[in-house]
């Protein structure tokens, strides 16, 4: 039996949605310890999944196994029994599709010793159709990730996997506060997300250049120097730029009106940087230490009681997927 544990990811935003300089998309994000995806895999002659979101997970598993059958990597009578211990919430901006897909992929890869490379696993579980390589990078290495987007010539190639061009562990003391607002709608994903991106108006060249500056000369050196104040300032401005660009889809800087109030409150009460992860609705703030993060959580619960469904405090993930054999 194989046990797989993988981190969730927070996506800070995309760098360039203009593309006039030769590449498009690109972005930054971070892995977090909690919430996580934990599954156990056991060899079987059929396919079975138990636990939360078992039906959706079974669909991903069945599709992956069919792909392996078609490539003669598994026999027709080789399947798997999967037990879900923990799983990421779907469509909350935490990368559930990628992380769950890669967890399943690596589960079978290790269970049957298929020796698939990470890029092959991503392709076979259909997680390449993304404008971001953050989830892929976080899954395998954890930490803070920057991806290099796509060449403009590959803009419509949804099988293109953006390269990870920077990875570094986040300072041990830093903490993240993840807020789940009470909302009626969830974030975009899959084919709806692809269609949305194809219909977006271009970002201005100046905004794209500013975003690159905030990452290259803001967040990266601040991370190396463990300067959370400068890191948070650059991150928040990146989030503002990206959020304002996506007003054409979201209707505002964030996916909901209450989100703006929550982000503002976090920045005023101990968080050095804050924003919305991907399409949301999940929000996050970055604090200097555990005590500050826990105090912010309490304050948020008191201030926004009834407006949030859950609040989590967590470390950044220092490493990626953990794979172990168990009885």
**Domains in the chain, start-ordered, CATH in brackets?**
2-325 (3.30.230.120)
Count how many Cα atoms sit within 13 Å of the Cα of residue 307 in the half-sphere of its side chain. 15
Per-residue pLDDT at 248: 84
**How many separate helices (H) and strands (E) can be counted in the chain?**
11, 12
163 token code pair: 């390269």
Cα distances from 285 to residues 39, 66, 84, 183, in angstroms, run: 28, 40, 28, 19
CA dihedral in degrees (305, 310, 313, 319; nearest 10)? -160
Q: How far apart are CA 60 and CA 104, in angstroms?
A: 8
Say if residue 3 is preceded by a cis peptide, omega within 30 of 0. Answer: no
SS3 at position 102: helix
Amino acid 184: pLDDT: 74
What's residue 19's pLDDT?
A: 94
Measured between alpha carbons, how far is 98 from 55 in angstroms, rounded to an integer? 16
CA geometry: angle 316, 16, 139, nearest 5 deg:
30
Q: How far is CA 59 from CA 47, 55, 65, 101, 199, in A?
A: 10, 6, 10, 10, 29
- Categorize the per-residue pLDDT at 186 as very low, low, confident or very high, splitting at 50, 70 and 90: low
The three-state secondary structure class of 228 is helix
Q: Is the pLDDT of residue 245 over 90?
A: yes
pLDDT score for 327? 73
- % of residues, the chain, pLDDT over 70: 94
All residues at 6 or more sequence positions from 25 whose CB lies less than 8 Å from its CB, including other chains = 14, 15, 16, 17, 131, 132, 147, 149, 150, 162
- Which pLDDT score, from 0 to 100, does residue 126 have? 77
pLDDT above 60 for 196: yes
Dihedral angle over CA of 110, 315, 52, 274, nearest 10: -120
**Band of residue 198 on the pLDDT scale cut at 50, 70, 90:** low
Q: Is 277 helix (H, G, I), strand (E, B) or coil?
A: coil
DSSP string, 127-176: ----S--HHHHHHHH-SEEEE--EEGGGTT-TT--PPEEEEEPPPTT-EE
Higher pLDDT, 266 or 183: 266
Q: What is the mean pLDDT of residues 140-154?
A: 96
Give the number of other Cβ atoms within 10 Å of residue 49's Cβ. 21
Pairing of strands 283-287, 175-181: antiparallel
The answer on pLDDT for 259 being more than 60 is: yes
Is the pLDDT reported for residue 23 higher than 70? yes
Give pLDDT, residue 292.
98
Q: Is the pLDDT of residue 280 over 60?
A: yes
How do residues 42-95 score in pLDDT, each as one tens digit?
999 999 999 999 999 999 999 999 999 999 999 999 999 999 999 999 889 999
Q: Which residues 6+ apart lie within 8 Å of 157 measured at CB?
A: 150
Q: For residues 235 and 224, give the distance between their C-alpha atoms in angstroms, rounded to a whole number.
A: 15
Output the pLDDT for position 195: 63
Residue 98 reports pLDDT greater than 90: yes
Enumerate the H helices of the chain as residue ranges: 54-70, 96-111, 118-124, 134-141, 190-198, 205-213, 220-224, 228-245, 247-250, 257-268, 290-303
Asked if the model's pLDDT at residue 189 lies above 60, the reply is no
pLDDT at 250: 84
| pLDDT > 90 in the chain, percent | 85
Rounded Cα distance, 199 and 213, in Å: 26
């Amino acid at each position: 039996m194989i046990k797989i544990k993988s981190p969730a990811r927070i996506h800070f935003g995309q760098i360039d949605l203009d593309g006039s300089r030769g590449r498009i998309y690109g972005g930054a994000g971070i892995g977090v310890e909690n919430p996580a995806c934990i599954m156990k895999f056991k060899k079987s002659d059929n396919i079975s999944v138990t636990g939360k979101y078992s039906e959706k997970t079974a669909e991903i598993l069945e599709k992956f196994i069919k792909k392996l059958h078609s490539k003669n990597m598994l026999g027709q009578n080789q399947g798997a029994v999967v037990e879900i211990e923990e799983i990421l919430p779907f469509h909350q901006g935490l990368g559930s599709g990628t992380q769950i897909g890669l967890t399943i992929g690596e589960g079978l890869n290790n269970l049957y010793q298929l020796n698939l490379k990470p890029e092959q696993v991503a392709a076979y579980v259909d997680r390449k159709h993304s404008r971001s390589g953050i989830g892929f990078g976080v899954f395998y290495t954890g930490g803070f990730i920057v991806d290099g987007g796509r060449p403009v010539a590959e803009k419509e190639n949804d099988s293109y996997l953006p390269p990870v061009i920077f990875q570094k562990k986040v300072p041990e003391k830093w903490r993240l506060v993840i807020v789940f607002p009470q909302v009626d709608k969830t974030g975009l994903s899959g084919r709806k997300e692809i269609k949305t991106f194809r219909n977006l108006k271009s970002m201005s060249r100046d905004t794209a250049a500013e975003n690159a500056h905030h990452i290259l000369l803001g967040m990266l050196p601040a991370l190396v120097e463990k300067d959370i104040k400068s890191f948070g300032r650059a991150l928040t401005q990146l989030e503002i730029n990206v959020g304002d660009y996506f007003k054409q889809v979201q209707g505002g800087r964030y996916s909901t009106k209450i989100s703006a109030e929550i982000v503002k409150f976090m920045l005023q009460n101990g968080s050095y940087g804050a924003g919305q992860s991907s399409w949301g609705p999940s929000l996050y703030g970055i604090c200097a230490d555990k005590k500050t993060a826990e105090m912010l959580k309490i304050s948020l619960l008191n201030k926004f009681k009834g407006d949030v469904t859950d609040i989590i405090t967590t470390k950044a993930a220092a490493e990626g997927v953990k794979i172990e054999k168990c009885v």
